[in-house]
Amino acid sequence: GEDVEQSLFLSVREGDSSVINCTYTDSSSTYLYWYKQEPGAGLQLLTYIFSNMDMKQDQRLTVLLNKKDKHLSLRIADTQTGDSAIYFCAESTSGGKLIFGQGTELSVKP
Amino acid sequence: SAVISQKPSRDICQRGTSLTIQCQVDSQVTMMFWYRQQPGQSLTLIATANQGSEATYESGFVIDKFPISRPNLTFSTLTVSNMSPEDSSIYLCSVGYRGTNEKLFFGSGTQLSVL
């Protein structure tokens, strides 16, 4: 069945780049997403990538997709303390449903 | 993007009671879903809310426990019935537009604690 895996924790220093990795299993996924969840809040759609792309850049965010290896990454440049949150990778399935990874908790230290 | 209003934002309920959560969107949406996020866990899809017909439930979720309504394209409710402490979770409404880029947006969630 479909499965999405992420590492659980990442700690970086303010100003460094953060790279959050994700692997997925459904090769038919049309879109892959990154969501951000701050404490006590819902999910904020950060960015998404269409499966026929291998890179997408949006300001400080860069998404890389290796479809052959079913590997997705999110790079945050110049990480700030406000970026501390849980980041979820998700893949789309039929009918618009999303399968989520476990979430990566990003901790940014000053 | 869609503006999603979810109510209540949090509640503390007694075992055996039921709670209805509302999701209101500021525009007509094609897709509406309800997700559950148990403490420290990822999101699990409960069901797809279908406009004018019965919801489509995922494995492990049943209509008697989680009845869902969707009377129109902008509104849905999820009821958590006969609650137990295991139902303590965040419940999130998600909406999307079927089309060329199927972005899904989430409400701010309902934090439910069952005593």
Do A44 and B108 count as a contact with CB atoms less than 8 A apart?
no
Stretches where chain A sits below pLDDT 70 are 1-2
pLDDT for B74-112, tens place per residue?
A: 999 999 999 999 999 999 999 987 665 567 889 899 999
The whole-number pLDDT of residue A2 equals: 65
Closest among B94, B111, B87, B5 to A39, alpha carbons compared: B111
Cβ proximity of B32 and B98 under 8 Å: no
Q: How far is CA A16 from CA A63, A88, A95, B24, B101, in A?
A: 17, 20, 38, 39, 31
Rounded Cα distance between B94 and B108, Å, is: 10
Which residues in chain B have their CB less than 8 angstroms from residue A96's CB? 30-31, 33, 48, 96, 98, 102, 104
Q: The tokens of B59 are what?
A: 């494995």
d(CA B48, CA B50) in angstroms, rounded, equals 6
pLDDT in tens, B6-24: 999 999 999 999 999 999 9
For residue B55, which amino acid is it? A
Task: Tell me which chain A residues have a C-beta less than 8 angstroms from the C-beta of B42.
Answer: 88, 100-103
Confidence of residue B41 (pLDDT cuts 50, 70, 90): confident
pLDDT on residue B49: 94
